[in-house]
Chain A
Amino acid sequence: MATLTDELASAIAELEDEKVLDLVQTRLDSGTSPLEIVGNLQQGMTEVGMRFEAGTYFLSELVMCGEIMKDAMNILEPHLAGEDQKHRGSIVIGTVKGDVHDLGKNIVVMLLKGAGYNVIDLGIDVRGEKFIDAIRANEAPLVGMSVLLTACQEGMKGIIEEIRAAGLDTRVVIGGNYVDESVRDYVKADYFAHNASDAVKIADEIFVH
């Protein structure tokens, strides 16, 4: 496990919610750039993701981290307007048409944001058209699709076909409890992620090239 020298990054990693919010406010008040504060929060979240992968953190810790981040970003967002936020690339993500389950997707979104990506979260019950528009608008090299209900996997296949028919060669990663190689092959996705940290690894692979 990495040693986090920054107090804020470390407070996120240790899930000390009140300390995180205090530090964000204190730093803003003392004139630290909001982007630098976001950077520290991301460092802490990356550590949380690593602890999850190492098996020392569980979903309960990821959910808690997500809630702390949401509160921290609520403080920061008014100060971020107009700032040029650097990111590692854009990823479009959503739960596919017919399905409203988003607990897993939200955790993936959090970890991807923590890893420094610009994540365009389309929410739940998302149609192909909406995926295509968002991929085009953001020139996203990667799209993530979440599905829990196995009966909605057929719809996921259709969405991927629509994306291909629109002439987009965006990589597609899929995830969900009942998703494995056979589903990936059936729906013609490029990757499947077994858990949230897999999704980050796949993104890292794609955006390195």
Chain B
Amino acid sequence: MSMGKEELFQERLNRYTTALKGGKPDKVPIRLQLSEFMAAYAGIKLQDIYYDLDNNIAAVDKILTDFDMDVCGGAPSLWWAGLHDAVGAKYLKFAGRELEENRQFQYVEEDYMKADDYDAFIADPTKWILEAYLPRIHEEFAEPGSYRANLALIKGTAAMMMANGASQQAGAHWAKDFGMPLSIAGISKAPFDTLGDTLRGLKGIMMDLRKRPDKVLAATEMLVGHNIFYGMATAGGDTTLPCFMPLHRGSFPFLNPTQWDTFYWPSLKAVIEGMWKLGKQTMFYAEGNWTPYLEKIAELPDHSIVFHADQTDMAKAKEVLGGRFCLSGNVPNTLLAYGKPAEVKEYVKRLLHDNAVDGAFIIDSAGVMQTDVKAENVFALIEAAREFGTY
């Protein structure tokens, strides 16, 4: 690592972690969830991002060359489509295969776990996943123990190792050649979301709340330990950077207040507190609107989360959580797609004025960006963040 890049890396990382811990760095850190926008900006088709790990990384290189940011969230594609093809995944659709060459990937939500699976799942989740769930959602595992299924396990494992290896190498390359730290280490979920997004689907989980509330509660309680472990394991034990936690079914108005208090919050709180005991902060990525729940969120230990606002009332978030937690957000994605650079600058100026004066603030878009975002607006965001966000 040349000295210049290494110093730059340390300066940026220090700026970011100072804000994460509630402090006031030299400048407001810039963290942008650019996602598929990176592919569009680099002129690479989405099918090439999903299927070719080198293209996925090259898109980031182009962004890091042109945009002044402090941390980077990784490559545009979360998934390597080749891995999912190797195991015949039924729950994801990719450009170049099921979708047109330049379409965003899609998750196909179903109740892949059935209501009568609860007991087996709660008793031994790993066994249930291996024997019942994986065969159900992957064509290649349809007959467990068969030649084809065994081969698919080997292909899937090898592909996972290749994808993880490529990500690790990419992280080292961005640090060395661009002086760019990553924004997160590890990923986990709220136990209710593990159950409600991935396993039972929206309809399934909403019916369960009425038909079998005890099972929902038992399953979310069982998932607490698993989700803490998953967060730490996917971070490789790192405690410098926060664990990314995209939050879904707890956003307003999915659940009524009693359901939220009973089924969503206790197990999520336990996961966050469990990781915090191990020194790991959570990036509370609150997709949608979480305004009614801010008082509950304030029960968490100081600095155990970074609260990321999407459509949560920013002023209220500042009032309730400010001073005890770092906040991040919330330049609207529609403004970045349809607004003019002058409007973006004005928004950023006001956002920083209202939220960043005492530090403990990171600027970001409200939600994950896609190909509709205009590059000129991203430049305007960065320019304004530097102009009005230098202490």
Q: Spell out A's residues near B (CB within 8 Å).
A: 15, 52, 55, 57-61, 63-64, 67, 98-100, 103, 149-154, 177-180, 182-183, 185-186, 195
Q: Known: A58-B254, A103-B202, A182-B339. Is A150-B333 also a contact (CB below 8 A)?
A: yes
Q: List B residues 247-298 near A (Cβ within 8 Å).
A: 253-256, 259, 288
Contact of B372 among A99, A100, A154, A180 (CB under 8 A): A154
Contact of A150 among B207, B209, B256, B370 (CB under 8 A): B370
Q: Which residues of B contact A61 (CB under 8 A)?
A: 256
Contact of B253 among A59, A100, A149, A154 (CB under 8 A): A59
Verify B370–A151 contact, CB threshold 8 A.
yes
B182 interfacial by beta-carbon distance below 8 Å: no
Q: Which residues of A contact B371 (CB under 8 A)?
A: 151
B10 to chain A, nearest CB (A): 35
Instruction: Specify which of A59, A154, A195 lies most central, judged by the most chain B CB atoms within 10 Å of its CB.
Output: A59
B283 to chain A, nearest CB (A): 20
Q: Report how far A183 CA is from B339 CA in the complex, Å.
A: 10
Q: Report how far A57 CA is from B253 CA in the complex, Å.
A: 9
Verify A60–B256 contact, CB threshold 8 A.
yes
Which stretch (B55-63, B102-110, B124-132) binds chain A?
Answer: B102-110
B114 interfacial by beta-carbon distance below 8 Å: no
Q: Known: A57-B256, A59-B254. Is A177-B288 also a contact (CB below 8 A)?
A: yes
New contact pairs (10) apart from A98-B103, A180-B334, A186-B337, CB-CB < 8 Å: A52-B253, A59-B253, A63-B206, A64-B207, A67-B203, A98-B104, A103-B203, A150-B334, A150-B373, A151-B372
Q: Which residues of A contact B209 (CB under 8 A)?
A: 60
Q: Which residues of A contact B109 (CB under 8 A)?
A: 103
Q: How many A-B residue pairs have CB under 8 A?
A: 76
| Per-position 1/0 for B105-142, Cβ under 8 A of A | 01011000000000000000000000000000000000
Say whether chain B's binding surface is mostly helix, strand, loop, or mixed. loop
Shortest Cβ distance from B206 into A: residue: A63
Q: Which residues of A contact B333 (CB under 8 A)?
A: 150, 178
Q: Which residues of A contact B391 (CB under 8 A)?
A: none
Q: List 19 A-B contacts (CB under 8 A).
A: A15-B210, A57-B256, A58-B255, A60-B259, A61-B256, A63-B206, A64-B207, A98-B100, A99-B106, A100-B108, A103-B203, A150-B367, A150-B370, A151-B36, A151-B372, A154-B372, A183-B334, A186-B338, A195-B253
Q: Report how far A59 CA is from B145 CA in the complex, Å.
A: 41
Shortest Cβ distance from A186 into B: residue: B338
A141 to chain B, nearest CB (A): 27
8 tightest A-B contacts by CB?
A151-B370, A63-B206, A58-B256, A182-B338, A151-B371, A58-B253, A186-B338, A182-B334
B335 interfacial by beta-carbon distance below 8 Å: yes
A45 to chain B, nearest CB (A): 16
Q: Report how far A98 CA is from B46 CA in the complex, Å.
A: 13
A199 to chain B, nearest CB (A): 15
Q: Which residues of B contact A55 (CB under 8 A)?
A: 253
A148 to chain B, nearest CB (A): 10
Q: Report how far A67 CA is from B201 CA in the complex, Å.
A: 14
Q: Report how far A52 CA is from B373 CA in the complex, Å.
A: 33
B163 to chain A, nearest CB (A): 23
Q: Known: A98-B104, A100-B106, A182-B335. Is A60-B203 also a contact (CB below 8 A)?
A: no
Shortest Cβ distance from B289 into A: residue: A177
Q: List B residues 335-369 near A (Cβ within 8 Å).
A: 335, 337-339, 367
Shortest Cβ distance from B368 into A: residue: A150
Q: Report how far A153 CA is from B332 CA in the complex, Å.
A: 15
